[in-house]
A and B are shown apart, each in its own frame.
Chain A
Amino acid sequence: MDITFENVSYTYQRNTPFEHKALEDLSFHIKSGSFVAIVGHTGSGKSTLISHLNGLSIPTDGKVKVGKYLLTHDEKPGDLKELRSKVGVVFQYPEHQLFEETIEKDIGFGPENFGVSESEIKERTHEALSAVGLSETLLDRSPFDLSGGQMRRVAIAGVLAIKPDILVLDEPTAGLDPRGQKEIMDMFYRLHQEQSLTTVLVTHSMEDALKYADHVIILNKGKKYLEGTPEDVFVQKDALKQVQLDVPEIVQFIASFNHKFNTSIPFSNQSTEQLAKQIKQALIGDELE
């Protein structure tokens, strides 16, 4: 499903002394099937933005279009529930939302609320469990007996079981160890491709945005600051620094190397091995002159 924001503003506690503008005149378009990273400093409006994607927030001004669903301040959308069955949101620390007696019931809770039949729920539970890489022998166990990483997988399975078209991920790897982080992100990337999802990833990790996203939106103080492919956005070191963001480490290193050796190795989202070859080439090339 396509996602379009047209001049969206959102104000918390409007017309009170605590009024706070979280989003301001925000416009962008996310094509169906793309993997978008939303990056920004703490308090830049990332979480407010994603709360619009399933109608938890309705814009104070402007329009949000998610597929055929339209959200504006004046028109109360009548089919919010349907929208929410299409947009799966994995919130920060989703394992804090587990509550059922068994893993099977917890995963089935979402689809049950959307009126999915019992046999279909069973099928989806099994699919979701295998998608997140957990064994079916766990189904009768309490989700609270699991390790943190496994609990997170169960929570994610619960979101997958509603069969969303759009998957929204709010800092999905926070608190996991490096291996856990990589496993979870690789899993989302695989699901994104296999199920042709539209994926919206909110992250602080420039490295993850670079590795997985095909489109990046940088937010600052509730406004769109930069937008484009990772290759285009992440080389703008000075612009990113202005909004307290860093470029990914590899970009930083290439810039320092080029400066010191007076070379011009381009950043092309290359692997570490490819970069090593380019560096060697630059050193030897120098020697031949």
Chain B
Amino acid sequence: MAGNLIEFKDVSFRYSEQDPWVLKNVTFTIKEDEWVAIIGHNGSGKSTIAKLINGLLFPQEGEILIGGKKVTEDSIWDIRKDVGMVFQNPDNQFVGATVQDDVAFGMENRGITREVMVERIQSTLEAVGMSDYQFTEPHRLSGGQKQRVAIAGVLAISPRVLILDEATAMLDPNGRKEIMQTVSQLQSKQGLALITITHDLQEVVQANRVIVMNKGEVWKESVPREIFTEKEELRKIGLDVPFVTTLADALKDIGVSISKEPLNHEELLEELWTLHLRT
């Protein structure tokens, strides 16, 4: 069985003593090969969790362990080697003069050799569909393209956990799908942990597990199918549910019996097909 990579033990955080708690007694674990989606309304504390994981912020109460190591001022440089993060706004994280310089930046900081760098620049740019832009300057890229470069730069340092903090929010649907396919393949092939902080329901249903945040607390933690059975509750805390689960409910309301909460089109069609054979 895979071990725990990330442990939050009773973590509370606030920006100053006058401010309200952003996180309150948050406890969870993430395994080293797991894909966890963190969802919640704006201001629910999702991004704070990401910033605590790589020591951009430190909690006032509780402790955070990454690979068994406690996150402290002293350990953050080690820990950041294991944690790759991609944020929402691509303009705030593009540092290179060209695409390949940008991908190389993280590797340079880690003293990776030139041969390996050249190889990883190629492979990661290919993985995010940006191979044709290796020598392009950032101001000539669209927001979505910059974001794909940022993801390539993070993948190039081969971290143990990849955190996407609403990193696909600005991509178009297909770009989003490609990125999610790429990272999920990487996640399963390399035994990488993946944390996606997102509002995108397609990303949520693909995850192994979902942590729902509400007002700084863990509201619920479960597999996606279980989470989406509580539609009314989810809507109340400002979240949405997938189209198929809404349609399944509408069908139930008019007397069509649906036994299993469907997570995608195929599952609902399969349910209806079984029903159709029985009648």
Q: What residues of chain A have their CB less than 8 Å away from a CB belonging to chain B?
A: 18, 20, 40-43, 47, 92-93, 147-149, 171, 174-181, 204, 206, 244-246, 249-250, 252-253, 256-257, 260-261, 272-273, 275-277, 279-280, 283-284, 286-287
CB atoms of A204 and B256 under 8 A apart: no
CB atoms of A256 and B265 under 8 A apart: yes
Distance from A263 Cβ to chain B, minimum over Cβ atoms (Å): 11
Chain B interface category by residue count: 35 or more
Contacts of A260 in B (CB 8 A): 269, 273
Instruction: Please measure, in the bound complex, the distance between the C-alpha atom of A275 and the C-alpha atom of B42, giving whole angstroms.
Output: 32
4 nearest A-B residue pairs (beta carbon): A178-B240, A276-B250, A179-B238, A42-B144
Instruction: Please measure, in the bound complex, the distance between the C-alpha atom of A286 and the C-alpha atom of B247, giving whole angstroms.
Output: 20
Q: For B145, B166, B173, B175, which residue has the most chain A Cβ atoms within 10 angstroms?
A: B173
Contact among A174, A177, A246, A277 for B170, CB-based, below 8 A: A174
B251 at the interface (CB under 8 A from A): yes
Contact among B142, B250, B276 for A272, CB-based, below 8 A: B250
Which residue of chain B has its CB nearest to the CB of A283? B276
CB atoms of A41 and B172 under 8 A apart: yes
B111 at the interface (CB under 8 A from A): no
CB atoms of B199 and A272 under 8 A apart: no
CB atoms of B175 and A42 under 8 A apart: yes
Contacts of A40 in B (CB 8 A): 172
CB atoms of A276 and B276 under 8 A apart: no
B88 at the interface (CB under 8 A from A): yes
CB atoms of B247 and A253 under 8 A apart: yes
CB atoms of A276 and B145 under 8 A apart: no
Given contacts A148-B43, A253-B244, 17 further A-B contacts (CB under 8 A): A42-B142, A47-B142, A175-B166, A176-B199, A177-B238, A178-B238, A204-B171, A204-B172, A204-B173, A244-B175, A245-B174, A272-B250, A273-B250, A276-B256, A279-B251, A280-B251, A283-B256
CB atoms of B250 and A246 under 8 A apart: no
B243 at the interface (CB under 8 A from A): yes
CB atoms of B173 and A272 under 8 A apart: no
Given A177-B42, A273-B250: A250 and B243 interface contact (C-beta under 8 Å): yes
Distance from B15 Cβ to chain A, minimum over Cβ atoms (Å): 13
Can you pick out 25 interface pairs between chain A and chain B where the beta carbons lie within 8 Å of each other? Answer: A18-B140, A41-B172, A42-B144, A43-B145, A148-B43, A177-B40, A177-B199, A177-B239, A179-B41, A179-B238, A179-B240, A180-B41, A253-B243, A253-B247, A253-B265, A257-B272, A260-B269, A261-B272, A272-B243, A272-B246, A276-B247, A277-B254, A283-B256, A283-B275, A283-B276
Distance from A119 Cβ to chain B, minimum over Cβ atoms (Å): 36
B279 at the interface (CB under 8 A from A): yes
Which residue of chain A has its CB nearest to the CB of B46? A177
CB atoms of A149 and B142 under 8 A apart: no
B253 at the interface (CB under 8 A from A): yes
Contact among A47, A244, A276 for B254, CB-based, below 8 A: A276
Contacts of B269 in A (CB 8 A): 256-257, 260
CB atoms of A42 and B199 under 8 A apart: no
Given A42-B145, A176-B42, A180-B238: A245 and B253 interface contact (C-beta under 8 Å): no
Given A92-B143, A244-B172: A280 and B255 interface contact (C-beta under 8 Å): yes
Instruction: Please measure, in the bound complex, the distance between the C-alpha atom of A246 and the C-alpha atom of B145, giving whole angstroms.
Output: 19
Instruction: Please measure, in the bound complex, the distance between the C-alpha atom of A144 and the C-alpha atom of B144, giving whole angstroms.
Output: 27
Distance from A154 Cβ to chain B, minimum over Cβ atoms (Å): 15
Distance from B55 Cβ to chain A, minimum over Cβ atoms (Å): 24
B76 at the interface (CB under 8 A from A): no
Contacts of B172 in A (CB 8 A): 40-42, 204, 244-245
Contacts of B166 in A (CB 8 A): 175
Distance from A186 Cβ to chain B, minimum over Cβ atoms (Å): 14
Distance from B64 Cβ to chain A, minimum over Cβ atoms (Å): 25
Instruction: Please measure, in the bound complex, the distance between the C-alpha atom of A178 and the C-alpha atom of B231, giving whole angstroms.
Output: 13
